[in-house]
């Protein structure tokens, strides 16, 4: 009986192993077949900022350099410098219509199409990077961000792809002693901050970074803001105007987006979409760390090597800027229902966050005199 049982067991195990072996072979064949049917996708990405600009423009390269090996070749990315494939202000439309399948820009560029868009790129007197990312990733920020594009009829999927530290507040030929000194100036200015400056009589324009130096040199504008100290230095503003103001109240943090045509996004596998979600979050962390690492040296070099005077706005001036900003908010709030919805959502998050911010962190150092 014992021997018979053993024989029966051996036969059973042999048959079972044969079946299992066959099953595994079938499963392996299926896996190989699935892998073979996954189409590789090349994302052709026109960018709004030159990749030669540290932190501001080169954030997309972090993704482009890593996406192919991380995806096992199922995803790749080719980056096109501004105006090589699509003009910066046409990126959204180009991605939505399928002229290109992806694009890299900042949401504030689309303010003429969607009034709430600057709230997803930089908010005057708004969040620093830590609070901004908390709202985007762990509150309603990303859902509202995507909904903005959906409700406006754009066929795009949005991913947050980079964030940079505070920008400089502006470059001026002469010191600004009061807001009266701003009246009549022609100044390049970005986003909602431009509408604040208009309250003080500034004539604002939104010039691409590559056109600002020539405009200053020819006298087409009197002053400018653009980006981080290291970026402004690369563009040579210090050669023409010597008074640089801080803090960048208009952009304490600035985000950048990777837009992907929604048809292309929907055709991707779950794995491909997850790779993009993970790699863009990694890029966000890297872009912020990179920007923070560069500024200390460069801002001092402006003074010691280029004769720039760094100024810190007085409390009175900052209070006037903030008061004007709240006027702009009230106007936008009344004009656009979605702006109001996003503002209310962020304000509710901010009210809770500020209690933590007020007791959780050591005070910042005082600005140098």
| CA–CA dist 55, 65 (Å, integer) | 15
**CA 109 to chain centroid:** 12
Q: Lowest-confidence range among 21-25, 126-130, 131-135, 338-342?
A: 21-25
Confidence band of 107 (pLDDT split at 50, 70, 90): very high
Three-class DSSP labels, 56-74: CCCHHHHHHHHHHHHCCCC
Domains and CATH numbers, the chain: 39-166+253-292 (3.40.190.170), 170-252+307-334 (3.40.190.10)
- 339-350, pLDDT tens digit by residue? 999 999 999 999
Give the model's pLDDT for residue 366. Answer: 86
Section 110-124 average pLDDT: 97
| CA–CA dist 287, 164 (Å, integer) | 6
Residues 6+ apart with CB under 8 A from 333: 339, 340, 343
Instruction: Enumerate long-range contacts of 316-321, CB under 8 Å, 24 or more apart.
Output: 317/176, 317/178, 317/179, 318/249, 320/179, 320/200, 321/124, 321/125, 321/196, 321/249
> 258: burial class by Cβ within 10 Å (0-12, 13-18, 19+)?
buried
Q: Lowest-confidence range among 15-19, 128-132, 186-190, 235-239?
A: 15-19
Section 71-93 average pLDDT: 97
Are the C-beta atoms of residues 66 and 278 closer than 8 Å to each other? no
| CA–CA dist 78, 135 (Å, integer) | 31
User: What is the residue whose two structure tokens read 């192993």?
Assistant: 17
Give the model's pLDDT for residue 182. Answer: 98
- 241-265, pLDDT tens digit by residue? 999 999 999 999 999 999 999 999 9
- 193-209, pLDDT tens digit by residue? 999 999 999 999 999 89
Confidence band of 21 (pLDDT split at 50, 70, 90): very low
The SS3 assignment for 43 reads: strand
Report the chain's terminal Cα–Cα distance, integer Å: 98
Q: What is the mean pLDDT of the chain?
A: 91
Q: Lowest-confidence range among 22-31, 97-106, 120-129, 245-254?
A: 22-31
- Residues pairing with 204 in the sheet: 187
Residue 310: name the closest of 222, 246, 234, 223 by CA. Answer: 246
Locate 231 and state its tokens: 């970026």
Locate 327 and state its tokens: 């006027």
**CA 36 to chain centroid:** 35
Query: What pTM did the predictor assign?
Result: 0.88
- 290-311, pLDDT tens digit by residue? 999 999 999 999 999 999 999 9
Confidence band of 37 (pLDDT split at 50, 70, 90): low
Give the model's pLDDT for residue 367. Answer: 84
Return the number of other C-beta atoms located less than 10 Å from residue 76's C-beta: 15
Residues 12-36: b if buried by 16+ CB within 10 A, e if exposed = eeeeeeeeeeeeeeeeeeeeeeeee
Q: Is the pLDDT of residue 239 over 50?
A: yes
Give the model's pLDDT for residue 9. Answer: 33
Q: Is the pLDDT of residue 23 over 70?
A: no
Give the model's pLDDT for residue 31. Answer: 40
């Amino acid at each position: 009986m014992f021997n018979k049982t053993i024989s029966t067991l051996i036969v059973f195990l042999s048959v079972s192993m044969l079946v299992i072996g066959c099953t595994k072979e079938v499963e392996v064949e299926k896996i190989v077949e699935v892998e073979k049917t996954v189409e590789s996708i090349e994302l052709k990405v026109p960018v709004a900022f030159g990749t030669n600009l540290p932190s501001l423009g080169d954030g997309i390269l972090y993704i482009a350099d890593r996406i192919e090996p991380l995806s096992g070749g199922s995803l790749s990315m080719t980056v096109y410098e501004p105006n090589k494939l699509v003009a910066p202000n046409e990126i959204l439309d180009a991605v939505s219509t399928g002229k290109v399948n992806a694009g890299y820009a900042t949401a504030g560029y689309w303010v003429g199409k969607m009034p709430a868009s600057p709230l997803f790129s930089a908010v005057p007197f708004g969040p620093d990077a830590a609070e901004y990312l908390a709202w985007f990733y762990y509150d309603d920020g990303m859902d509202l961000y995507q909904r903005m594009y959906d409700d406006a009829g754009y066929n795009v999927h949005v991913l947050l792809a980079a964030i940079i530290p505070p920008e400089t507040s502006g470059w001026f030929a002469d010191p600004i002693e009061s807001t009266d000194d701003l009246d009549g100036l022609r100044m390049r200015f970005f986003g909602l901050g431009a509408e604040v400056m208009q309250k003080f009589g500034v004539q604002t324009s939104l010039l691409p970074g590559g056109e600002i130096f020539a405009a200053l040199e020819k006298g087409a504008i009197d002053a400018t803001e653009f980006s981080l100290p290291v970026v402004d230095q690369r563009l040579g503003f210090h050669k023409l105007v010597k008074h640089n103001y801080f803090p960048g109240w208009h952009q304490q943090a600035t985000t950048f987006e990777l837009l992907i045509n929604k048809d292309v996004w929907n055709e991707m596998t779950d794995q491909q979409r997850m790779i993009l979600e993970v790699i863009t979050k990694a890029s966000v962390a890297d872009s912020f760390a990179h920007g923070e690492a560069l500024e200390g040296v460069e801002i001092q070099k402006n003074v010691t090597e280029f004769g720039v005077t760094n100024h810190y706005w007085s409390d009175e001036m900052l209070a006037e800027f903030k008061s004007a900003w709240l006027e702009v908010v009230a106007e936008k709030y009344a004009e656009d229902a979605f702006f109001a919805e996003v503002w209310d959502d962020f304000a509710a998050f901010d009210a809770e966050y500020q209690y933590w911010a007020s007791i959780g962190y050591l005070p910042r150092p005082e600005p140098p005199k």
